[in-house]
Structure 1
Amino acid sequence: MSAGPLSPYRSPEHRRRAVRDVASAAGGEVVPYGQSVEGEALEAVRVPSSRGASRRVLCSANIHGPEWIGCEVALALLQTAADAGSPAAALLHHAELWVVPCLNPDGYRRTFERQGVGPLVHLRTNAHGVDLNRNYPLPGGARRHRLPGSGSTTPGDTTYVGPAPLSEPETAALDRLCAEQGFWASTNLHSFMGTMIPAHVDDRPCFRHYARLCRAMADAQPRHRYRRLAARVLDTFTGEQEDHQHHVHDTWAVCIEVFPVLASYRQHWRPPSTFWRFNPHDPGPWIDNDLPGVIAWLRAALDSPRPSELRAQASA
């Protein structure tokens, strides 16, 4: 049931079964919210609040094909939500939990079929060759700067932004889900930088508050504490998911890069495949390290006003 040469990670079929198993164990339901380019169901798991809380939080992962460690952390969040007394179960006292373990199932399957071997551009994107984390619209008035990684308008490039914002069924479907559910907070799991990258904001109240939220996550990480990567002036908009969630859906949103660069290079100076640059051979220690931080970040965000409310309070 594992992914053969990519073991101990899961094959696409095993991942889908695991989603159903953990959803059932946690008392949740699988909610289809769209289809990928190749027709695979895009699925979220909804776990109701144990105390009827109306706020909703989202944990999503694997927007890039080979970044499977994020999917494992997301599944672990659901698994621990079934354990009474766990931090994840305590989170359900305050909010309804939504989890999307795999935002890019076509990229996941392509990575599996190629056994994680090949140029990053062949594994990272969706079936149209679009980097889904560059396909979100920029906030009003913003423009894309020509900086490395900020997104390319050239098809075939690793960070190709697509023909238009939200042109891809995967991003358009998640945008609809966010609009419908009004998530209070969102953690988007990637790899392999070992950092927290909150939504890019240039207003001082939200910038400072993101620093507090990231500090709450770092304080909860038992072994390796991630640093925040953010700047009010030097940062730029690139069409990323967390920026769109913050500026359009009024959500506290952060990209969490699981598995630090140094740990990746300690594992392999020259990895046998692209896959093993992005994923640890043993996901367990990184799940144990990062899951408490993810929960702490969401919990701290739930204790906060909405970003728009915070700005209004600061200007009053």
Structure 2
Amino acid sequence: MSGFPQLCHTEVIGTSSLGRELVAFHLASRALHEPTARLLVTAQIHAGEYVAGYVARALVRTLLEEYERDPTVSTLLRRATVTVVPLLNPDGAHFVWQRRGWVGFKGARATANGVDPNRNFPFVSIPGRRAWNSSSSRPWSPYYRGPHPLSEPECLALARLCKRARFCAAVHLHSFGGVTFFPASANPQVAHVLDVFRDVFPAAQRHHRYRPVPEPVSALCGQLDLFLLHAFGTPSATVEVSRPRFALALRPQRWLHFFSWANPPDPERWVENDVPATIRVLGALLERTRGHPLLPEHPEMAEQVPE
């Protein structure tokens, strides 16, 4: 990204358990120290979801290359700083790559410590039915939430970034499934913001429209979406990039190869499908939040994030 010094600033926000850097790209048409709304895009928090990181990096390229060419991109970068963290789990990603994807379901999600990083964020206990994949205190579970919230340095680094930046909204890229998950909040202001994933986002997708799936907040134990909303007032959604190929059903030898399910052979098709839609939805989120985070429901959770 060195060809765009006026638009892109890179920052190492932390390191992984094994010492790999966690890099954030801050994209804006103005200097970072100037007051501006802030939007966040994260990707590949789960080790094997390579296509999510691929789409995130393509988003960075598109925002840089289309500035002053595409009015939507130009307006977005003039009004906001878009921060993209395209690889949140570098240790897990390296392990998956070394093993050519043969890591099992837990290995395709976990950090180097065997923790599901998207269950490692602080949470408050909410009455209601838990989902089968909410989180687990059992270390052998693929949804193991770790010994304590923010035990994973990757999650701690992201939480510190969010505490500092106070993003007005966020999008988290995962794979696969072709759906968009977001908290089913009873707060009408939150619901109004997140409704962009019911209309704006799918309407802008070129090949495949993702189905919006509101999730009961009682089911979201330790997940990034609800942590950002509760601690910082940052509404966000989880976008499951791509759809599994029907051809996989005809290849029994690949049924247990999670990498094949999570990563399509044609990632550029999903770049075409999801990058323009993500740019559109970032603009819509900026409009509906007016560039400011909402009132957090549990601001005390932010105190669990050390400086």
Aligned to 1:19: none
Q: Could you tell me the percent identity over the aligned residues? A: 32
- CA distance, structure 2, for counterparts of residue 29 and residue 267 of structure 1: 41
Q: Which string of whole-angstrom CA distances, capped at 9 and with x for unpartnered residues, describes residues 229-276 of structure 1?
A: 01557x62221111111111111211110012xxx1414114633211
1:30 aligns with 2:10: yes
Secondary structure of 1:308's match?
Answer: coil
Shift of residue 146, structure 1, vs aligned partner: 4.7
Q: Where do 5+ consecutive residues of structure 1 fail to align?
A: 1-21, 312-316
Match among 207, 215, 222 for residue 239 of structure 1: 222
Tell me whether 152-161 or 207-216 shows the greater mean CA deviation.
Answer: 207-216
Aligned residues of 1:206 and 1:310 also touching (Cα < 8 A): no
Letter in 2 for 1:47: L
Query: Per the alignment, do residues 177 and 309 of structure 1 end up closer, same or farther by CA in structure 2, a change over 3 Å counting?
Result: closer
> In structure 2, do the counterparts of structure 1 residues 271 and 220 end up closer, same or farther at CA, with 3 Å as the change threshold?
farther
Q: Give the equivalent residue in structure 2 for 1:128.
A: 113
User: How big is the shift at 1:167?
Assistant: 1.2
Count residues with an aligned counterpart: 285
Do the aligned partners of 1:23 and 1:45 also contact (CA within 8 Å) in 2? Answer: no
Shift of 1:23: 5.5
C-alpha contact 1:151 1:238 (8 A) present in aligned 2: yes
Q: Residue 294 of structure 2: SS of its match in structure 1? A: helix
2:240 matched to 1:268? no
Matches within 5 A, 1:151-300: 151-231=135-215, 236-260=219-243, 264-269=244-249, 270=252, 272=254, 273-300=257-284
Q: What is the match of residue 14 of structure 1?
A: none
**1:269-300 CA distances to partner (integer Å, 9 max, x unpaired)?**
14633211101101011110011111111111
Identify if the C-alpha distance between structure 1 residues 232 and 121 changes in structure 2 by more than 3 Å, giving closer, same or farther. Answer: closer
Q: Is the 8 A contact 1:200 1:243 kept in 2?
A: no
Whether the aligned pair in 1 keeps the contact of 2:28 and 2:78 (CA below 8 Å) is no
Moved more, 88-97 or 218-227: 88-97
8 A contact 2:169–2:293 mirrored in 1: no
Larger RCO: Structure 1 or Structure 2 (Cα < 8 Å, ≥ 6 residues apart)?
A: 2
Aligned with 1:93: secondary structure?
A: helix
The match for 1:67 among 49, 53, 64 is 49
The one-letter code of the counterpart of 1:164 is: H
TM-score by length of 2: 0.86
> How far 1:179 moved relative to its partner?
0.6
Q: Tell me: CA distance 1:97–1:149, structure 2 relative to 1, closer, same or farther (3 Å).
A: same
Q: TM-score, normalised by structure 1?
A: 0.83
Q: 1:136 deviation in Å? A: 0.9
In structure 2, the CA distance between the partners of 1:130 and 1:144, relative to structure 1 (3 Å rule), is: farther
Correspondences of 1:76-95 after superposition (within 5 Å): 76-83=58-65, 84=67, 85-86=69-70, 87-95=72-80
For residue 304 of structure 1, give the secondary structure of its aligned residue in structure 2: helix
Say whether the 8 Å CA contact 1:125–1:132 is kept in structure 2: yes
Contact 1:53 1:94 in 2 (8 A): no
The letter of the residue matching 1:130 is V
Name the structure 2 match of 1:10.
none
* Kept after mapping to 2: 8 A contact 1:62/1:101: yes
Question: CA separation of 1:44/1:72 partners in 2, compared to 1, >3 Å: closer, same or farther?
Answer: same
Alignment RMSD: 2.3
